[in-house]
Structure 1
Amino acid sequence: MSIDVLSSSRPALPPRASWRDYLQMARLDHMTKHVFILPGLVLAWVLRNPPLDDLLPSLLLGFASAVLIASANYIINEWLDREFDAFHPDKSKRPAVNVSMTPLPVYASYTACVAVGLLLAWQLGPVFFVTSVLFWLSGVVYNVKPLRSKDKAYLDVLSESLNNPIRLMLGWGMVEHTTVAPASLLLAYWMGGAFLMGAKRLSEYREIAAGPGVEVLHRYRRSFQHYTEERLTISCFTYALLATLLIGVFMVKYRIEFLIACPLIIALFAQYLALSMRAGSVAQKPEKLFREKRLMALTGATVAALMVAGLVDLPFLQSFTEPHYITVQRGAR
């Protein structure tokens, strides 16, 4: 009888991981995030007019490479974060938290994804390959000690959002093999991504602080020890302002016609910030943003406006790039 009591008091061991659990760590359902590659494709075509020979094979190789390297980053992220994710309401459901995994399959799948992803990237030329290496290294810097930028306030957002300009360059490199996208465009894309990641942090802070409490946030991620709701909100405004400033610089230097899309771009920022304020916000799960009908409608309208602006010349807009003064004539005495 005493033996039964002792055995029943022991904590249940987590089940052993299946191959599906290891596969789930690659987060193939997050492939929707690669939509940030598409503007790079379009802008390279509009600004550089590259030859589009063998376009389909380049796209297939490029997207396959991007998916594999992103999966490698997700694998190492989930494995190294498993103790911290246990404190997060949603991430605590991940396989690495709930089942017993062994290091060998994790590191083997991580290595295989990196190796095959970079091998495919090599086939597309130096621009795409170097960008892919940076894509992989961004995951190392973000997740692996002693760097582990995700634990440092503000640096966590800035380092994670680097994936935005990297993805833009992946799209650019699929069709344009000899140049790099304009610096103003890359910086604008970076700050736009920082706004998205800042809004994600703000949404997490509001929801967890109102539920389990701020102490749980501190256990989940060290960077939250410095954050407050006020600081996160201010940072979102700062990133949005920097993004719009840099977009303006890019337009003046390369194609002022993109100005017609500016009201829609500003509306996108506003709508996304509004989403981050909701309980259970989808801003915490960017891979599910396509379910937000209003946001998708705005995104579609913005893409359409940018495509029109890229194809149609509007000479009257050139006046916005030139200085003008209103002259006031003095009346006769």
Structure 2
Amino acid sequence: MTAYLRALRLERWPRSAAIILGSATFFFLHQDFLSSFRPLETAFLLALSFLLTWAISTANYVVNEIVDAPYDIHHPAKRHRPLVQGKIKKVPFILLGIGLTAAGLGLAVVFFSRSFVLSLLALLGAGFIYNVKPVRTKDIPFLDAISESANNPIRFLIGWYAFAPRHLFPPLSLLLAWWSFGNFLMTAKRLSEFRLLRDKAADYRLSHKRYSRNLLLFGMIASATVFLTTFLVFVLSLRLYRNLIIFPLLLLYLFLFFRKTLEEREVMEEPESLLRNPLIALLTLVLAGLFALSVFL
């Protein structure tokens, strides 16, 4: 049972917690809706939407664990995954994924709007598009990072529609900013693989056959530029001028990610590992705190 739990990658729950940003932004931009929800109701809906997002994300990891097993064997860390090591069986693992999907979508239909359910389905669909042939965007240069980072705006939408009526759509500039920041991180992960796996990189990830160090650096720079530009558009279009105070901190944040990616001596399995850097972790907390203050001030 321990091996099955490890294969579900439950430790990646912080990714699902990203829905909180969507919910917080909704109430920040539409404060008149705050009175529509009682505190306990808000807490319940937020907790449930997190659990449902976590369930669907975990179901996607089931898909990834199965279809990536032939490639993971070439990765220094991922070759120790339970399915690659033969510690779990496919059929019960698939049934576990189906159960998580059915429970997640079923509860979503009962408690949330159609827009929320569609956003949850989009998260599930994104996992299949990224992992499963004949599409499998994971094998296509740049489209692999773009499609993987699409989970960022999708999770934002899940958090948004946990409370928002279906006719209210979040600012497109903010969705693009969140998407491009995710793409920045996913490209950083690929650069780490390319640097440290060298000739074996393409055995693990087919897209590395057409990547180069300069192309991946360009991808990171382009993603950072789009992120900063769309964030500025969001702030200026809604006249949220007080949020400009975090812009220099965002520049520093991106610089630290750049430097850490280029200095890493181990392959970055997931971008969250960069948060082990004390300065990056501290700056993350500062940025989150400043955003929270901007909501209530």
Shared fold (TM-score greater than 0.5)? Answer: yes
**1:196 is aligned with what amino acid?**
L
Q: Secondary structure at the match of 2:83?
A: helix
- Does residue 185 (structure 1) correspond to residue 167 (structure 2)? The answer is no
Name the amino acid aligned to 1:69. I
Aligned pairs (5 A) from 1:131-280: 131-178=119-166, 179-209=168-198, 214=199, 216-254=200-238, 255-280=240-265
Counterpart mapping for 1:1-333 below 5 A? 19-49=1-31, 50=33, 51-53=36-38, 54-99=41-86, 101-122=88-109, 123-178=111-166, 179-209=168-198, 214=199, 216-254=200-238, 255-280=240-265, 283-312=268-297
The alignment partner of 2:84 has SS state of helix
Give the superposition deviation at 1:34. 2.5
> 1:308, 1:57 → 2: CA distance?
23
Structure 1 unaligned segments of length 5 or more: list them. Answer: 1-18, 313-333
Question: CA contact under 8 A between 1:282 and 1:288: conserved in structure 2?
Answer: no
SS in 2 for 1:88: coil
Q: Distance in 1 between matches of 2:221 and 2:97?
A: 36
Whether the 8 Å contact between 1:200 and 1:283 is mirrored in structure 2 is yes
Q: Which has the higher helix share?
A: 2
Q: What RMSD over aligned residues (CA atoms) do the two structures have, in Å? A: 1.6
Match of 1:322 in 2: none
**What is the count of residue pairs matched by the alignment?**
289
Contact 1:29 1:287 in 2 (8 A): no
Counterpart amino acid of 1:125? S
Runs of 4+ in 1 over 6 A off after TM superposition: none
Residues 36-86 of structure 1: CA deviation (Å, up to 9, x unaligned): 222212211110122333111101210110110010011110111101100
User: Residue 318 of structure 1 corresponds to which residue in structure 2?
Assistant: none
Cα distance, 1:176 vs. partner? 2.0
Distance of 1:257 and 1:52 partners within structure 2: 27
In the alignment, is the contact (CA less than 8 A) between 1:32 and 1:287 conserved in 2? no
Residues 289-317 of structure 1, C-alpha deviations (whole Å, 9 max, x = no match)? 443221111111112222333343xxxxx
For residues 269 and 205 of structure 2, the distance between their equivalents in structure 1, rounded to whole angstroms, comes to 14
Residues 184, 250 of structure 1: 8 Å contact kept: yes
Amino acid at match of 1:269: L
SS in 2 for 1:97: coil
CA positional deviation for 1:100: 5.4
With 67-76 and 286-295 compared, the bigger mean Cα shift is at 286-295
Q: Which amino acid aligns with 1:79?
A: I
Opposite residue 199 of structure 1, the aligned amino acid is A
Cα distance in structure 1, aligned partners of 2:59 and 2:235: 35
Residues 257, 310 of structure 1: 8 Å contact kept: no
Structure 1 stretch 196-205 or stretch 26-35: which is displaced more? 26-35
Answer with 1 or 2: which has the greater Rg: 1
Change (3 A) 1:118 1:137: same
| SS, match of residue 99 in structure 1 | coil
Contact 2:177 2:226 in 1 (8 A): yes
CA change 1:115–1:289 in 2 (3 A) is farther
Is the contact made by 2:188 and 2:271 (CA closer than 8 Å) also made in structure 1? no
- Structure 1 residue 120: deviation in Å? 2.2
Shift of 1:262: 0.9
Deviations 1:106-125 (A, max 9, x none): 22111111111112222221
Percent identity (aligned): 31
Residues 1:138 and 1:129: Cα distance change in structure 2 (over 3 Å)? same
Give, in whole Å, the separation in 1 of the partners of 2:136 and 2:249: 36
